[in-house]
Amino acid sequence: MIYMADTADLAALKELYDFFPLEGVTTNPTILKQSGEKLSVAIDGILKIIGHGMIHVQVMSETAEDIVHEAKTYKNYFDVGDNYYAKIPVTPQGYKAMAILKDSGINITATAIFTQQQALVAAKAGADFVAPYVSRLDNISSHGIEVVRDIVKNMVDFKLPCKVLAASFKTVDQIHRVSMNGSHSATVGPELLMQLIKHPMTDISVKTFLEDGKDLYDISF
């Protein structure tokens, strides 16, 4: 399971990278707006924290030609080699751009996915990751977990070299269920990432250990 942080909040990201086994960061225009930073400043700050982790940067262009130019510009600008992924929405022009960029050797994350067919077409177009939006699907009674499950099945059945990057979560249970349905990866906001590893019984157990062992551990270190 690949965990990525879906954020441009540098303070939260720095805290997470201190202990959480994250493998990268995903961003989009909405996340950037929430951070209050321009793209160049936000990504530069993220890269200083994540080192050799993956960075997924979403394009804003709408035509295939402009998408390709924008994606190539970002790869050169941020100079992170194969750790760079161009995030491209699954529009007709987006699919066209994916095929062109794949031939150019640029990694692709297909985003804004709401159906199994959108993901399958993106994988065939050359996407390395496909990102279905779980919570947004649930909000329109479209069963996000089932969509993720169907996409995973397609990748396995058709032996496609594309990973499912489940996105858009509101609860820990959603993350649990996509992982149990075979999602290769998940991109999650900082608050939910912290909730993933917490349990009140763990806190109680640690407190008990400290109380029981305080007079028994007699070896200096």
Annotated catalytic residues are 87
110 sits in which H/E element = strand 107-113
What tokens appear for 21 in the block?
């086994």
Q: Which residue intervals of 23-161 are DSSP H helices?
A: 29-35, 39-50, 64-78, 92-103, 116-125, 134-139, 144-157
What tokens appear for 85 in the block?
């992924």
What tokens appear for 167 in the block?
């996105």
Question: In whole angstroms, what separates CA 77 from the centre of its chain?
Answer: 21
Give Cα separations from 156 to 37, 103, 162, 184 (angstroms): 39, 23, 9, 11
